[in-house]
Amino acid sequence: MTERFRLTIGQLNATVGDLSGNAAKARDAWEQARDAGADMLALPEMFITGYQTQDLVLKLAFTQQAIDAAMELGTSLTGGPAIGIGAPWMENGALYNAYFVFRDGALVARVLKHHLPHKQLFDELRLFDSGPISGPYPVGPARIGSPICEDSWYPDVAETLEETGAEILVVPNGSPYHREKLDLRMGHMVGRVVETGLPLVYVNMVGGQDDQLYDGASFVLNPGGKKVVQLPAFEEAIAHVDFIRGDDGWVAQAGDMAIQPDAWEQDYFAMTLGLRDYLRKSGFKKVLLGMSGGIDSALVATIAADAIGPENVRCVMLPSEYTSQTSLDDAADCATRIGARLDTVHIEGARDAVGDALAHLMEGTQPDTTEENIQSRLRGVMLMAISNKFGEMLLTTGNKSEVAVGYATIYGDMAGGYNPIKDLYKTRVFETCRWRNRNHRDWMLGNAGEVIPPRIISKPPSAELRPDQKDEDSLPPYEILDAILEGLVEKDLALADLVAQGFDADTVRHIEKLLYISEWKRYQAAPGPRISTRAFWLDRRYPLVNRWRDKL
């Protein structure tokens, strides 16, 4: 008689701190697994708490309640499949990232994470203790080994599991997104399969948590590295995978093969999901933003409409005498195409009142960026007032290029609760707008078609804080600026490296100076979705006061 083993993958969206809600999600998935005749349900890493918990897991009351919630759930599930669920564990004064396995109401295994990630956005080496490499555990006819997330990126844990009798590797993950992450993961997991000769099931979390995105995209590999199951990216999914034991061990049967989005759609989906989940998990249902008639606010408004529906998006135009008629027309055109509400609040009176109040102190000085920033800060004040009054989260609209060099006004256009394009360079903003005008997907709640007016994409960017102002009056063209920033931020290149690539030495020095002196602004900036490998704050943490400058 052919031996079969059915595993249910629960690619689900946990909320940090919602112990009862996460347990309810797990119970619902277990019931689906039971109804499908599964032998086991596998859920992601630290699912009962949500991920990442950051220092919340150091709070004894929280961690004990999380352990209790996992135990209460696991011991209550009888007459169905085993369940594997991530949770913290405390023992002998040590704190572990663990994976609990229950079968018929009894705890049959507790796997402890061995390799603790501590680079880029991770801080687990500070939070957790490293556990010993755990052995496999039996579930029905199969022996399962579970390297937890980072444990699967190195050979030792998987090889030890294979040597001690594991027959299938089930890898629970809280693996965060960055651009083209799927290919990177796949390379490591194929390595584990080739080294051990075992099939591997990669179970990843999905959803947004603060600045971080978990893209799901769980998959199954057979011995030899062939992918036979692929779950969708950025969406919750339940999948049932059948294994059949042959002469050479267990082999997974072919299942769903969801098409993975390309790099542009990945980024856009990540920004949309990040905003949607940040709002939902924070308790907000509506947003507002300052709509300038420029490309950044147009893209943020579009992302918001796709995330929560255009009926939940308020765009506010805050013109002064420096605001062109073109900007007014473009803002109205964009809001109409998106289907969002557009309100207008004039700032001239408030600006003049502030000017009059400061006149006795400013007497004898010449107008400069001080007066320009007053306009921006008044817009922030008015937008925050609307946010407070109507319970709508204010979105900020500064792209990564502007945030990098400080061309955003602290307490002005940086005011707000979330920035969907925080990790998107300006050149990618342009291309993302073009991509969105050409593409619409079922997961987008906004309108299809050319929602961002072409003139917004083609006109020269301007803050419009003084007559005839253009961004390129004080910055190099964005193609040059972004290339220099990519070298300084993404690749940590020396100035000499950039000059050797053909960039002007004075320009490179100037951009480096702006980058360093703007650190204090970024420290106070709203969170936003991480879509690159060098997001500000999560991946790149610099001192706020720093006198070092590279030399040429």
pLDDT, residue 39, reads: 98
Q: What is the pLDDT of residues 151-192, one digit of tens each?
A: 999 999 999 999 999 999 999 999 999 998 888 999 999 999
What per-residue confidence (pLDDT) applies to 400? 96
**Cα 414 from chain centroid (whole Å):** 19
212, containing H or E segment: strand 212-215
How does strand 206-209 pair with strand 212-215? Answer: antiparallel
Stretch (H or E) spanning 534? none
pLDDT at position 461 is 74
Output the six-digit token pair for 501: 């690539």
486 secondary structure, DSSP code = I
pLDDT at residue 360 in the model: 92
Residues contacting 548, CB < 8 A, separation 6+:
none
pLDDT of residue 463: 62
Query: 393 has which bridge partners?
Result: 287
* Alpha-helix runs per DSSP H in 175-223: 181-196
Domains in the chain: ranges and CATH: 4-259 (3.60.110.10), 264-471 (3.40.50.620)
Asked if 50 and 66 touch (Cβ cutoff 8 Å), the reply is: no
Tell me how far apart the alpha carbons of residues 216 and 13 are, in angstroms, rounded to a whole number. Answer: 9
Q: In 3D, which of 76, 91, 92 has the Cα closest to residue 26?
A: 76
DSSP E strands, 66-149: 82-91, 94-103, 106-112, 137-139, 142-145
pLDDT along the chain (552 residues), means of 10: 92 97 98 98 98 94 98 97 98 96 97 92 91 95 96 95 96 94 92 96 96 96 95 97 94 94 95 97 97 95 98 95 89 96 94 92 90 91 97 96 94 94 97 97 97 93 64 84 96 96 96 95 94 89 89 88
Nearest to 308 by CA among 286, 283, 291: 286
CA dist., res. 83 & res. 76, Å (int):
11
As a whole number of angstroms, the distance between CA 229 and CA 239 comes to: 9
5, containing H or E segment:
strand 4-11
R_g over Cα of the chain: 26
Per residue in 529-548, pLDDT (tens digit) is 999 999 998 888 888 998 88
Whole-number pLDDT of residue 468: 66
Asked if residue 21 lies in contact with residue 49, where contact means CB atoms within 8 angstroms, the answer is no
CA–CA separation, 84 and 71 (whole Å): 12
Q: Active-site residue numbers?
A: 45, 113, 149
CB atoms within 10 A of CB 448: 10
Torsion over CA of 176, 180, 185 and 191, rounded to 10 degrees?
A: -160
Return the bridge partners of 173, or none: 204
Cβ atoms 239, 231 nearer than 8 A: yes
C-alpha to C-alpha distance for 168 and 145, rounded to whole angstroms? 6
Give me the residue label for tokens 């937890």: 148
Q: How far is CA 174 from CA 15, 151, 503, 539, in A?
A: 12, 12, 40, 17
CA distance 116 to 388: 41
User: Using one digit for the tens of pLDDT, what is the confidence trace for 417-457?
Assistant: 999 999 999 999 999 999 999 999 999 999 999 999 999 99
Structure tokens of 466?
């003084």
C-beta of residue 320 within 8 angstroms of C-beta of residue 375? yes
